[in-house]
Chain A
Amino acid sequence: MPHRKPPTDQPAQQSEPRDAAEWRRELKLPSERGASRLITEDLLEQLGVHGWSPSDIFAIHLAAEEAIVNAIVHGNKLDPGKVVQVACVVSPTVARIEVADEGSGFDPSSVPDCRLEDRLDAPNGRGVMLMRTFMTRVEYNASGNRVLMEKQRPPAEG
């Protein structure tokens, strides 16, 4: 009589308890438009599981989306031979997202401030600024093709 497969075949993240202190995920994304969804859906779910508020989840989602789209479109220039590496950590107090592309990088300080009067109606250049505003910490490596973003939440919030 056939036996059911033991549950050990399931991916690790599914067998973890829902109140796990920390969720980690590393993924290589193809350099295609829309690929961010391969990580953001799980990220959003885990932020909810770990008790982040809807407005924090919105903020982290926006920052992650902007960073990944920048890496795919501006970093890897949609080159199918290049990947974007994404690493996420979510706990009840910290959400950390690291995004690295295989492009030549850029100087984040060279992006003009979109809030300046003569730049207000420029259609581009808001992503990096939104990332900096919505996250507690945003750091680029020296060449500018890797960004580490972190949002911290006081444990006693609410």
Chain B
Amino acid sequence: MATHRRIDVSKLGDVTIVRFLDKKILDEAGILELGAELFGLVELENRKSLLLNFAGVEFLSSAALGKLITLDRKVKSNKGRMKMSNIRPEILEVFQITKLNKIFDIRKDEAEAISAFA
């Protein structure tokens, strides 16, 4: 399994749970690394059910949004599913303003997201 510096990866049944190790996802070098680690889950490890748990994430920039959008595309083209959970209100507002809540499947918490994969 790949070594990750920006994310923590675990499995619950068929669902791969991703947690972010950075509280603020804004440093561009870090975002590039984050993107590569996330894409690897789909492209190298062929993981079909991804849950991104944003607990502890306080800030993310539009460059990070770009990586999430690209990840979502890769998951969908790999016939997988991606959900997000535990997003704090300020970041949720960013998703709403940019209307990304229309393309992302956003759930309140991890339990709700896990059961939505069933």
**A residues neighboring B (CB under 8 Å):** 33-34, 36-37, 54-55, 58-59, 61-62, 65-66, 69, 73, 114-115, 120-124, 126-127, 129-130, 133
Contact = CB atoms under 8 A, between A and B. Distances in A.
18 contacts: A33-B29, A34-B29, A37-B27, A58-B90, A59-B90, A61-B59, A65-B26, A66-B62, A69-B28, A69-B63, A73-B28, A114-B98, A120-B99, A126-B62, A126-B66, A127-B61, A130-B94, A130-B98
B98 to A, nearest CB: 5
A34 B97 contact: no
- The secondary-structure label for the interface of chain B is helix
B69 interface: yes
A58 B90 CA distance: 7
B73 interface: yes
Interface of B: 26-29, 58-59, 61-63, 65-67, 69-70, 72-73, 89-90, 94, 97-100, 102-103
Nearest to A70: B62
Given A66-B62, A120-B103, A126-B62, A55 B28 contact: no
Contacts of B98: 114-115, 126, 129-130
Instruction: Among B59, B67, B73, find the residue whose CB has the most chain A CB atoms closer than 10 A.
Output: B59
Contacts of B28: 33-34, 69, 73
A129 B99 contact: no
Given A62-B61, A62-B94, A133-B97, A124 B66 contact: yes
Contacts of A114: 98-99
Contact of A33 (B27, B89, B102): B27
Contacts of B61: 62, 65-66, 69, 127
Contacts of B63: 69
B61 to A, nearest CB: 5
A126 B65 contact: yes
A37 B66 CA distance: 20
Contacts of A66: 61-62
B59 A123 contact: no
A29 B87 CA distance: 32
A22 B29 CA distance: 34
